Amino acid sequence: MSRSDIIQAAAQIFRKKGFHATSMQDIANAVKLQKASIYHHVESKQEILFTILEDALNLLIGDMRAVVDSDLKPKEKLRLAMQVYVGRLTGDADLATVLLLEYRNLEKKLRTRHSVRRDRYEALWRKIIEEGVDQGVFRSVDISIATFAIMGVQNWMITWYREGGRLSALELSDNFSELFLSGLLVEK
Amino acid sequence: MSRSDIIQAAAQIFRKKGFHATSMQDIANAVKLQKASIYHHVESKQEILFTILEDALNLLIGDMRAVVDSDLKPKEKLRLAMQVYVGRLTGDADLATVLLLEYRNLEKKLRTRHSVRRDRYEALWRKIIEEGVDQGVFRSVDISIATFAIMGVQNWMITWYREGGRLSALELSDNFSELFLSGLLVEK
DNA sequence: GTTGAACTACCGACCGGTCGGTAGGGAAAA
DNA sequence: TTTTCCCTACCGACCGGTCGGTAGTTCAAC
């Protein structure tokens, strides 16, 4: 039994029941240990949550840096970024759901630390849109709003996406990026 | 002290701390009653949550029926629907946040009942998009995906919108609808 | 005198977390 | 090769405190 086994089991239960509704006993049962034994591996329930969030965010930041630093055009960067992000959200739903929903339950100090890093992540998305506007391929939209919109569409997936649905992750992300790039209206 | 005072106070605290992190004592303190006295007005903590969700959803369904039943063109229906919905989300953030985030904490039976009604609400959005596609003013996008996307952008607002921000609710919704209708790319 | 709204006092269950202790395996000392 | 020692992983029992909820009572308004 390793620390990461516990973290992973916790993520799964946090996702299903939420952080506060999950007891340390629940986690202990999942890894077939006594509750006390868990404290040999982790400091506290808060630390478990924090670790889950950090791990998830690190993964995403790595993904995004690669896309932003590539020499693709803004349009392709956006498409690729969405492919990768949707892939992560659908691929590890436990991690994703906890990341997006449960960070609220971090105590203040840890939450602040996490928010800083999350803002840094979102700034990478912002950069892609800025680039597109600067190069004249994107209309001069409000950058912040566009970023929020793009994050929102994708993040909200965690509330409705179910594995084995009608569309694959790739089809979903392509639908999204097409929608964002071309809009709903037919050509004028 | 009325029942609705208690419900409203609870919504406020649920929003800030989450359902499970909120104790009946917290709610009692907020309305300056003893915890036991609250049970004179409500059946249980679950019932409080359920009432909040029902009230919020009823409001939204009423809004949406008016828009769908109007004789506006699909493009204007979408614009108006987003204006109204964003107005609600920003106007009563407590209700909105609890509606979108805390319904997960309903016990199974109540959650199922709620989900049915929420699906009925989302079907109204779907209808607008369908109408646009049928009339040939919207491209023939995947209707489900487009609906999820539009709901997602707006619903995700509850995570970042703060009163007194740079843009008004109306400006926000107009930015959103413009983005959805015309897309990011400049005219070809 | 009935009623509704509030109170005090309490319940059993469970919470996150800590305690002292131990089984067992690997390394160092004899 | 045997003995000693230490360390990791784990355990059962327990801590003070809080949880949602209940029982029974008081009291003012009608």
For helices B74-91 and B45-69, the axis angle rounded to 10 degrees is: 150
Cβ of A44 less than 7 A from strand C: yes
In a 3-state reduction of DSSP, which class is residue B23? Answer: coil
Q: B143 to chain A: which residues are within 8 Å by CB?
A: none
Calculate the alpha carbon distances from A176 to A50, A66, A83, B85 in Å. Answer: 30, 21, 9, 21
Tens of pLDDT, residues B129-183: 999 999 999 999 999 999 999 999 999 999 999 999 999 999 999 999 999 999 9
Tokens of B96: 């909105």
Mean pLDDT to the nearest integer, A16-36: 94
What pLDDT sits at residue B186? 84
Q: Does B186 touch chain A (CB under 8 A)?
A: yes
Q: Which of residues 33-72 of B touch A (CB under 8 A)?
A: none
Q: Which two tokens stand for residue B90?
A: 């920003």
- Identify the band that residue A1 occupies on the pLDDT scale cut at 50, 70 and 90: confident
pLDDT at A78: 97
> Across residues A115-121, what is the average pLDDT?
96
State the pLDDT at residue B20.
Answer: 93
Q: For residue range B28-64, what is the model confidence (pLDDT) as tens digits?
A: 999 998 998 999 999 999 999 999 999 999 999 999 9
In single-letter form, the type of residue at position B109 comes to K
In the DSSP assignment, the letter for residue B183 is: -
Mean pLDDT, range A46-55, rounded to an integer: 95
Distance in angstroms (rounded) separating the CA atoms of residues B54 and B114: 7
Domains of chain B: 45-182 (1.10.357.10)
Using CA atoms, how far residue B101 sits from A91, A180, A182, B19, B55, in Å, is 22, 25, 31, 9, 15
Distance CA B67, CA B3 (A): 31
- Average pLDDT (A165-180) is 96
pLDDT at B115: 95
DSSP A57-114: HHHHHHHHHHHHHS---HHHHHHHHHHHHHHHHHHTHHHHHHHHHSGGGS-HHHHHHH
Between CA B136 and CA B52 the distance in angstroms is 39
With a cut of 90, say whether residue B6 has pLDDT above it.
yes
Interface ipTM = 0.91
Asked whether the predicted pLDDT for residue A188 surpasses 70, the reply is: no
Instruction: Tell me the per-residue pLDDT of A153-168, one tens digit each, with 9 for 90 and over.
Output: 999 999 999 999 999 9
Distance A23 CA to C15 C1' (A): 8
Residue at shortest CA–C1' distance from C15? A23
Q: Which two tokens stand for residue B55?
A: 């009230």
Minimum distance, in Å, between the CA of residue B141 and any CA atom of chain A: 8
Neighboring chain B residues of A104 at a CB cutoff of 8 Å: 18
